[in-house]
Amino acid sequence: MTLRKQELVNREYYHIFSRSIAKYVVFNDSSDFDRMIKLMNLYRFDNFQYKYSHFIELEATTQALILNDLRNENDLLVEIVAYCIMPTHIHMILRQVKNNGISKYAGRVLNAYSRYFNEKHHRNGPLWTGRFKNVLVEKDEQLLHLTRYIHLNPVSSGLINKPEDWEHSSYAEFIGEKSNKGICNYESVIDIEPKLYKKFVNDGKDYQRSQAIIKSTLIDDYTG
């Protein structure tokens, strides 16, 4: 499959995937995972123009004012539907809101994390295997099954036995176990009760049941 032959389209949903160079482990501890989630949250707003390292050095009151200004939903680059951060790669389902929104958003997030990681580990050079990859999600049924595929990724990779044991995905949001609102907006397109969604995901642990439905929304060279 040739990726990005056409310009990404507003209001469409895409499976976004990015892997580290040589499958290098780039998320090593909870602080790394938390950093990525915070970057994903803030950089979806077009008017967030700060480097995150500078933002966190501001006074708390200044940070609060900036965050309050980000409540304008009209300023979103993308809506995050679901995500899963793995030790060597990232899965996201995004809905593009503004022209070039996904490219701008992914570039901001991946570059910001690269700067953080390189400084933390005293290294130089790229962290990711080129630009992100994407596949258009064409049907609601595909979208639902793709969220399950993403949320089961840590299980199928042998990292955990239950998807709720992986803290670095949007699964807790989907099953109503996150204490705050979270960063995902999926309710308008995925209409399923949390208990039913949990059963839906656990019923797919054998993994093969969903592959035929979501095959067209997977990245061809993704194997993990």
Residues of the chain scoring pLDDT < 50: 1-4, 209
pLDDT confidence of residue 75? 87
pLDDT confidence of residue 103? 96
Three-state DSSP state, 35: helix
pLDDT confidence of residue 4? 44
pLDDT confidence of residue 125? 92
pTM (predicted TM-score): 0.90
Cα 196 to Cα 174: distance, rounded to the nearest angstrom: 10
Cα dist. 120→20, 116, 138 in Å?
16, 6, 40
Cβ neighbours of residue 40 under 8 Å, at least 6 residues apart? 80, 83, 92, 109, 183
- Which domains does the chain possess? 13-217 (3.30.70.1290)
